Amino acid sequence: MSYLFTSESVSEGHPDKVADQISDALIDHFLAFDSESKVACETLVTTGQVVLAGEVKSNTYLDVQKIARDTINKIGYTKSEYMFDGNSCGVFSAIHEQSEDINRGVDRASKEEQGAGDQGMMFGYATSETENYMPLALDLSHRILKELADLRRENKDITYLRPDSKSQVTIEYSDDNVPQRIDAIVVSTQHDDFDEDEIMLAKIRKDIVDILIPRVVAKLPEHIQVLFNDQITYHINPTGKFVIGGPHGDTGLTGRKIIVDTYGGKGGHGGGAFSGKDPSKVDRSAAYATRHIAKNMVAAGICDEILVQVSYAIGVVEPTSIYVDTYGTCPFNITDGEIASKIKGIFDMRPAAIEERLKLRQPIYSETAAYGHMGRTPEMVTKTFEQPNGEPITLDVELFTWEKLDYVDKVKKAFDL
């Protein structure tokens, strides 16, 4: 019997994502001027107010208020009627020095012997059902909101959009786990006030179904396009009105959208958030490393679907375990335990090795803080950062290195393929 599976996404203007983007903007600025910075920064946003808190060990000083305001304005909160805008909101900083008790377990005389910045378990996942090896429901949810943000910034085909929005996609799967059709799509988007609520709701529904969705579908490969049909159930702004939104409508916190950030409920999650953490925190770096492993394993043909778990003890160099589940999709006569053993020989999972392999001590994190950390496109970009004294620095950095298929040949060689 067929079954349904659902994933959701939230836009860059969602209050939790506003918080994530501010935290990661701070990370990028610290790393731009001191690549060995140790940072754990949390952000809270609410009506007219931003609160920054966390621990930092760095040789640089930042104007954190300016960074927070610039991030908020870039997202699109630039009008006083939003009750939260980058130019007028208050910004309170409670950032202080990192605990020496934590730092002593991480920094070592030899960089290679760097200990894990925390204990815990991290998961990476990949599936062959999409071209970027991501679960389809989450991939479509992200695409809907990215396209909606493009429409908002264009301000031409749809002129009433505000930054806050959410999406959700439900897919019907066959017994053998193959997507059959899109069953339901939910889109809730913040909007300007209208004179009449019923007219407003009808227009928003028509614009989402007739403008947004066709733009999303047009950018999909043909085998995914055919999953869309006129039998989809649409829930567009189901409460009927969404004028009050963003941090004025709901308090936002860093790290509260960890399933949106990863695999939309497929695979597993260890519970640790990413944004606001430098790569010595294995919550972030090892999650990227396990995604890198999973994607290269599926691309190499070892399996059609895979979950990779790794675990660490704080201050300890080597992981305490590596676990693999291929969900019975490996076509070869090899157990998941044997696959895990081979992975240990292919991928060095010591924290310092992960940082070096994936180039994680670059200012690359602002781009991860909305629309998912996984399934993105690796690319080189040039970024400029400005210190409080006005002195700029320009760097060429590589984004989303954990999405590269650069280990496929090594995997095939290890498995004699």
> In CATH, what number is assigned to the domain containing residue 69?
3.30.300.10
Residues 232 and 292 reside in one and the same domain: no
Amino acid at 288: Y
Residue range(s) defining the domain that contains residue 372: 120-127+260-414
Instruction: For residue 250, tell me if it sits in a domain.
Output: no
| pLDDT tens-place string over residues 197-253 | 889 999 999 999 999 999 999 999 999 999 999 999 999 999 989 999 999 999 999
Residues 85 and 142 reside in one and the same domain: no
Residues 359 and 406 reside in one and the same domain: yes
Of 181, 293, 187, 191, the C-alpha closest to 228 is 181
Q: Determine if residue 404 is labeled as part of a ligand binding site.
A: no
Of 205, 137, 120, 230, the C-alpha closest to 177 is 137
Instruction: For residue 230, tell me if it sits in a domain.
Output: yes
- Quick one: pLDDT band at residue 327, thresholds 50, 70, 90? very high
Instruction: For residue 402, tell me if it sits in a domain.
Output: yes
What's the rounded mean pLDDT across residues 163-176? 97
Instruction: For residue 106, tell me if it sits in a domain.
Output: no
Q: Determine if residue 235 is labeled as part of a ligand binding site.
A: no
Q: Determine if residue 304 is labeled as part of a ligand binding site.
A: no
pLDDT at 101 over 60: no
Q: Determine if residue 14 is labeled as part of a ligand binding site.
A: yes
**Residue 288: φ, ψ to 5°:** -65, -40
pTM of the model: 0.95
Q: Determine if residue 256 is labeled as part of a ligand binding site.
A: yes
* HEC assignment per residue over 207-231: HHHHHHHHHHHHCCCHHHHCCCCCC
Residues 239 and 266 reside in one and the same domain: no
Do 228 and 176 contact (CB within 8 A), yes or no?
no
Residues 233 and 88 reside in one and the same domain: no
Q: Determine if residue 241 is labeled as part of a ligand binding site.
A: yes
Residues 277 and 235 reside in one and the same domain: no
Residues 409 and 287 reside in one and the same domain: yes
Instruction: For residue 113, tell me if it sits in a domain.
Output: no
Residues 151 and 236 reside in one and the same domain: yes
Q: Determine if residue 191 is labeled as part of a ligand binding site.
A: no
Chain mean pLDDT for the chain: 95
Residues 80 and 145 reside in one and the same domain: no
What's the rounded mean pLDDT across residues 253-258? 98
| pLDDT tens-place string over residues 64-89 | 999 999 999 999 999 999 999 999 99
Given 245, 274, 305, the domain boundary residue is: 245
| pLDDT tens-place string over residues 369-387 | 999 999 999 999 999 999 8
Of 165, 143, 148, 158, the C-alpha closest to 225 is 143
Q: How far is 356 from 347, CA to CA, in rounded Å? A: 12
Q: How many CA atoms lie within 13 A of 230 on its CB side?
A: 0
Q: Determine if residue 406 is labeled as part of a ligand binding site.
A: no
Q: Determine if residue 250 is labeled as part of a ligand binding site.
A: yes
Q: Determine if residue 273 is labeled as part of a ligand binding site.
A: yes
Instruction: For residue 251, tell me if it sits in a domain.
Output: no
Do 68 and 48 contact (CB within 8 A), yes or no?
no
Instruction: For residue 298, tell me if it sits in a domain.
Output: yes
Total domains, the chain: 3
Q: Strand 233-236 vs strand 179-191: parallel, antiparallel, or unpaired?
A: parallel
Instruction: For residue 187, tell me if it sits in a domain.
Output: yes
